[in-house]
A and B are shown apart, each in its own frame.
Chain A
Amino acid sequence: MKILSLKRRLRAGLASLLALMVMGIGAVVMVYPYVYMVGGSLKTRSEFATDRPAILPPRFEPSRLFQRFVVGRKDPDYDQQLKEWPLQRNYADAITFGHIDRFVCNSFLYAFVITAISLVVNVMAAYAFARMRFPGRDLLFGMLLMTMMIPSTVLLIPQFLLIQRLGLVDHPLGVVLPAFADAFGIFLLRQFFISIPTDLESAARVDGCSRGGILRHVIVPLSKPVLITLGLFTFMAAWNAFEWPLVVLSNQDLYPLTVGLALFRDQNTQDWPRVFAASVLGSVPLIALFYAAQRYLVSGITLSGIKG
């Protein structure tokens, strides 16, 4: 009996080890492009051209770093190389010539406005669809679900013409307006609202709370995790949007990060370290935001209305 359980435990441990190894390899595959991007952003132009396959610039070679800083061997050549570190150059260029800071601000503004307004719009609609009865409810909700299937590529041309008619081409409002309502968000929120017990609402109603009051004081506080999840996903989608702002905007001052990066690449086809520095600057804000909000995310994904 003892031997058997030992054997089983050994087997389970082995399986766990194997899983760890495969997952570890996968993790390296996931991280490698980021390391390559950061490393590239720290190279000089000539280093990038000659040592393209190298992940890190030569001055960060671990053996040399070890010799210089751990062993403490004097190496004036190496010190000189470190002094000519192009960190400042590439990153400063990305900001002074590429205006990446402005693009990041624009992206933040677009993503923030879209997230804030669409959350309000979607919460209101989702609450009505979840809790109120009115003629045409199921028909309208069905129509909403159907629109989830429409590819954005199909909507690109007519939406552009609509925005053109509204005089919003090359206007920040034109970038954000079509994203203010989101069928998927309404669907997701409705699923969650339905799962909230009605007892709480009935109690609030007895106390004379209006529909708006219930929504604000009962439903929204109870839905915080799903609201944060949806907010993050909306923010992410708005931050990643490329095709729509590319079509709507021609004034470079209004470009979001994605379009701005594409423009910066076109202006610097011979200077990739700069482009990589800009890419690093462009990816850090969202990654930071997500890891700040990570604890909501894991629960949020399970909440996203998909029954396993």
Chain B
Amino acid sequence: MSQTGFSLVTLVRPRLGRALVAGAICAGGWYAGVRPLERSLAAKAEAMHAMEVSLAAANEPGADAERLPREAARLEASFTGAKAWCESVTDPGQVYNALTRLASEHSVTLARIDPSGTRDVIVASTDSQQAPTARRRRGNQTAQASARGPVPEIIMYRLSARGAYENVCAFIADCETSLGASKVLSFSMRPALGAGAGVVEAEIETGHLKMPPTKKEEAAAKQKQGTP
């Protein structure tokens, strides 16, 4: 039977439009609903894979994991101690006070305390933990030091002390151990003229390490200066 009659195009066109609209809605649904889920899943899966890889690659914590906190605490304490030791000197006035207090503790009379200058501490490389390469007077190195920024320096004092021999010896020894990063550069000790037996007078030269201020400290100092 040969058929004739209706146009397929007229039937298809509106339905094609509906199908396209439905397709667009589905695509929108995928874009708005499913795609984020898929992306989230991909991200999670990637994170999980990374974790599994890191777990597989990592050594079993075991005894090392138990020892680690102890070692960390020990290192922390040592480091804190060293830091405190190095940073015990903050300014010349504080050194002066510390020396006076120490002398007083040892019953030593300080006839004179004179600052004898400062010098920069030049460290070749802190990363390589190499030994210092040079120590020079501040006057020679001012330009280089300022170019590098603040550097550690040694504050030096010359003292004239008088007291019992044992006390002066203890004072000299404690100058190195009780004042933080300090060093007795030289001393000369002789019996005091016109004094009793056992009383000596000493000329002592000390050096005290002063660390440069940290950025935080600098900022705090600037703020303090700016505050009326």
A binds B: no
